[in-house]
Structure 1
Amino acid sequence: MNFVEELRWRGMLHDIMPGTEDILNKGMVSGYIGFDPTADSLHVGSLAQIMSLIHFQRAGHKPFALIGGATGMVGDPSGKSAERNLLSEDTLQHNLQGIKSQLERFLDFDSGANSAQMVNNYDWFKDFTFLNFIRDVGKHITVNYMMAKDSVKNRINGDTGMSFTEFTYQLVQGYDFYYLWKNHNCVLQMGGSDQWGNIVTGTELIRRKDAGEAYALTTQLIKKADGTKFGKTEGGNIWLDAEKTSPYKFYQFWLNTSDEDAKSYIRIFTLFEKEIIESLEAEQDAAPHTRVLQKALAKDITIRVHGEAEYEKAIKSSEFLFGNIGIEFLNELNDAEVLGLFEGVPNFTIKLSDLQAGLNVVDLLASHTAVFPSKGEAKKMIQGGGTAINKVKIASADDSYSVDALINGKYLVAQKGKKNYFLIIAE
């Protein structure tokens, strides 16, 4: 199966310029995708493009990952309703290093002729003067051509308008394609479907400036079946950086995918063969409650992004909250991981000194914290056997807790019933 066929059956292909598939079938092709360095980490929204490069390389072609050190200073107007804040050079350099280290997990940079290569467009733009740019690049593309692009028309006709900075973005990205075509024999640019206008500006510049041939391919923008934006939660983006999104939260994001979305995501975000995916789908259809698609999807992506050990820890974290793993599991986690595990769970801070001589459990849960709204309610539920500290049922309202009960010398985990958790932090 060739590259384009791979994208088609996975439901990833959106647009393809005539002749692209023919050139890909003739031999090894160099192609690239650009990544936006507006943060020091990519997020799951970037994974579709990363997967495109992975499939491209697996099909025997040479992938280039372009990091937009220069274009990040401008900001792509495609799909945006307002102009973005411009980033400083120091911030961009920091972001570039973070993104580079992430891309190195997915692409093979040491595989011979089709080794992946990373480039930064700041390298060829830093000494490119404005006058030289408008003379050598701008004269080849008419304003009429640029105005016809949807990304430009939508902004110009909107409430905010468009600055000259953003208007020139398609020329800057077009020159990226020209530079890589000229210096690295890159004849294909890929990207999300919202990039089609910018990409074909590059093919047009190559044609008009040097009478060259270049090609374009775009993939579907990923959306949820319910129409909401993919990769966003109430807490914001799902990042690939473990410090921004814990591996546990990352795993849960995929595990909580709807059945309908899981059927498309497992094609897009894993490397499973067609037969394996169809087998998993049949198993899911026969017994939807088993959620085999979600489990296979979450496992595969978590391991590829964070590694086997973090996946195992994410499984244990799930079992801790929803299963039978004991409180001692928290001793395996650092502070950030504990707080990540209990993200969204009500938490309270108490003074460490309050526990030195021992603190009555009712006072702990109703006075020093608000686990219960009143001492009376705390006593009633304790007597009914429905309250626990550190996963051990509280035997009596007369029980007390001291620093010896703290997990990692800092935490107490309270429960009302089986699923209502509260994190108490002693400082």
Structure 2
Amino acid sequence: MAYQSDLLRLLDERGYLHQLTDAAGLDALASRQVVPGYIGFDATAPSLHVGSLVQIMMLRRLQQAGHQPIVVMGGGTTKVGDPSGKDESRQLLTNDQIRGNIANIRVVFERFITFGDGPTDALLVDNADWLDRLEYVPFLRDVGRHFTINRMLTFDSVKVRLEREQPLTFLEFNYMILQAYDFLELSRRVGCRLQLGGSDQWGNIVNGIELSRRIDGAELFGATTPLITKADGSKMGKSVSGAVWLNEEQLSHYDYWQFWRNTDDRDVGRFLRLFTDLPLAEIARLETLPGAAINEAKIALANAATTLCRGESNAAQAAETARLTFAEGSAGDDLPRVAVTGAIALVDALVALGFARSKGEARRLIAGGGARVAGAKVDDEAATVTVAGDPIRVSAGKKQHGLLVPA
């Protein structure tokens, strides 16, 4: 379909679109007026990770196309837990923990979208403002009657848990009703017309649209992104060392930059479109660079993605640390560091630096020839490293480097 609105053309050209509830209707609406659109984020940790970044970028694209992004923090739904993509129930958090997580997460949104009072300025709302005030019996009577158990059992988020014989609590089973109710409330409170989300949220989005039509006669729309996986089939948001957090308190600027620098050759063009503002013509040039020259594209990706999330100066410093580490063999200031008194077992050093999640994993890394100390390969699983004077560089493979420094 040839889209007429700047919004859908931008989303389509950049590779964000997977499903639309009414493509022609949304295209026409976005061509004639500002469309407020929202995405919900539960506050289960002090930071979101890279797996949420495509949704944050969707809100950025919405604003770039002249529309209004709405960030809905799940102060209410975090207390319930979304069963989508989960094999087990989510750990329940206290109200104070949820509020603290929301405050930390908001900082990242402020780097990607502009908040304010203008017609296209972003809003941030908390669904606890309406969910915490619901009365159970009236909610069941007024909202619950529009949902059938038969249909709810067909949603992937429920089917997968049941097929794997994993417990699904009644609390979680209510999540899809609460999310649908969010859309109804947002339509009433701030005139929201569009819900965006990942493809795993399709059923929840459709529920919200249908609920709003039945109760208020509202015409609402939904759009989802494809599941974003890496070329090797693994999920976005994970690295060898664990989650790739968006907040610097959870992950250093250098490690964030290095995550993007380590992108598989096959993913470079797609990730440049999704996660940077580089012009499409420049991306087309970068993704077709031959042979080792593709590293120029990876560096461009790392610089642009890190600049958006962590700021231009931090991205430049991370790039310089990488240049010193790889090109000159020096020790950059941004490398992870562990203070050592005397000597430390190499397996312990690899775990402390975040290069292995356990001693067993560290031993396998050493046995496989992937560990180096001061540039020299070490294959002795019982090796120790003595730190007395200058920092000593420890490496895991070709891409992870850290320093052991005197305590």
TM range (shorter): 0.7 to 0.9
- Taking a change above 3 Å as real, the CA distance of residues 423 and 157 of structure 1, as seen in their structure-2 partners, is closer
1:56 aligns with 2:37: no
Question: Which secondary structure state, in structure 1, belongs to the residue aligned with residue 37 of structure 2?
Answer: strand
Picking from 162, 167, 171, the partner of 2:173 is 167
1:29 equivalent in structure 2:
35
Structure 2 residue identity aligned to 1:301: A
Question: Which secondary structure state, in structure 2, belongs to the residue aligned with residue 112 of structure 1?
Answer: coil
The 8 Å contact of residues 303 and 319 in structure 2, kept in 1 or not, is answered as no
Picking from 222, 226, 236, the partner of 1:216 is 222
Instruction: From the CA coordinates, give the structure whose radius of gyration is larger.
Output: 1
CA distance in 1, matches of 2:276, 2:196: 19
CA distance in 2, matches of 1:415, 1:70: 44
1:275 aligns with 2:255: no
Structure 1 gap segments, 5+ residues each: 331-336, 352-367, 372-386, 391-400, 407-411
Question: Which secondary structure state, in structure 2, belongs to the residue aligned with residue 13 of structure 1?
Answer: coil
Shift of 1:197: 0.5
CA distance in 1, matches of 2:276, 2:404: 39
- Deviations along 1:58-89, one digit per CA (max 9) or x if unpaired, are 11111100000000111111122222111111
Q: TM-score, normalised by structure 2?
A: 0.82
Structure 2 residue identity aligned to 1:306: R
CA distance in 1, matches of 2:394, 2:77: 50
Shift of 1:195: 0.3
1:315 equivalent in structure 2:
319
2:349 equivalent in structure 1:
none
Structure 2 residue identity aligned to 1:413: I
- Deviations along 1:150-204, one digit per CA (max 9) or x if unpaired, are 2222223331132111111110000000000111111110100000001111011
The 8 Å contact of residues 140 and 209 in structure 1, kept in 2 or not, is answered as no
1:237 aligns with 2:243: yes
Shift of 1:402: 11
1:248 aligns with 2:254: yes
1:361 equivalent in structure 2:
none
- Taking a change above 3 Å as real, the CA distance of residues 203 and 415 of structure 1, as seen in their structure-2 partners, is closer
CA distance in 2, matches of 1:421, 1:144: 53
Picking from 341, 345, 363, the partner of 1:350 is 341
1:289 aligns with 2:293: yes
Picking from 186, 192, 196, the partner of 1:180 is 186
CA distance in 1, matches of 2:232, 2:151: 36
Question: Which secondary structure state, in structure 2, belongs to the residue aligned with residue 254 of structure 1?
Answer: helix
The 8 Å contact of residues 340 and 387 in structure 2, kept in 1 or not, is answered as no
Structure 2 residue identity aligned to 1:299: N
Structural mapping, 1:102-113, within 5 Å: 102-110=108-116, 112-113=118-119
Structure 1 residue identity aligned to 2:309: V
Picking from 138, 149, 154, the partner of 1:148 is 154
- Deviations along 1:314-337, one digit per CA (max 9) or x if unpaired, are 12221332233756x64xxxxxx5
Shift of 1:9: 1.8
1:10 equivalent in structure 2:
14
- Taking a change above 3 Å as real, the CA distance of residues 423 and 109 of structure 1, as seen in their structure-2 partners, is closer
The 8 Å contact of residues 413 and 423 in structure 1, kept in 2 or not, is answered as yes
Picking from 55, 60, 73, the partner of 1:67 is 73
The 8 Å contact of residues 40 and 73 in structure 2, kept in 1 or not, is answered as yes
Give the aligned CA root-mean-square deviation in angstroms: 2.7
Structural mapping, 1:195-210, within 5 Å: 195-210=201-216
Shift of 1:426: 3.0
Shift of 1:223: 0.4
Question: Identical aligned pairs, as a percentage?
Answer: 39
CA distance in 1, matches of 2:167, 2:249: 37
Question: Which secondary structure state, in structure 1, belongs to the residue aligned with residue 71 of structure 2?
Answer: strand
- Taking a change above 3 Å as real, the CA distance of residues 184 and 314 of structure 1, as seen in their structure-2 partners, is same
2:392 equivalent in structure 1:
413
Structure 1 range deviating more: 140-149 or 22-31:
140-149
Structure 2 residue identity aligned to 1:295: I
The 8 Å contact of residues 34 and 66 in structure 1, kept in 2 or not, is answered as yes
The 8 Å contact of residues 413 and 421 in structure 1, kept in 2 or not, is answered as no
CA distance in 1, matches of 2:167, 2:72: 29
Question: Which secondary structure state, in structure 1, belongs to the residue aligned with residue 193 of structure 2?
Answer: strand
Question: Which secondary structure state, in structure 2, belongs to the residue aligned with residue 186 of structure 1?
Answer: coil
- Taking a change above 3 Å as real, the CA distance of residues 45 and 152 of structure 1, as seen in their structure-2 partners, is same
Picking from 191, 194, 207, the partner of 2:200 is 194
Q: TM-score, normalised by structure 1?
A: 0.79
Picking from 302, 307, 328, the partner of 1:303 is 307
Structure 2 gap segments, 5+ residues each: 347-371, 376-385
The 8 Å contact of residues 51 and 235 in structure 2, kept in 1 or not, is answered as no
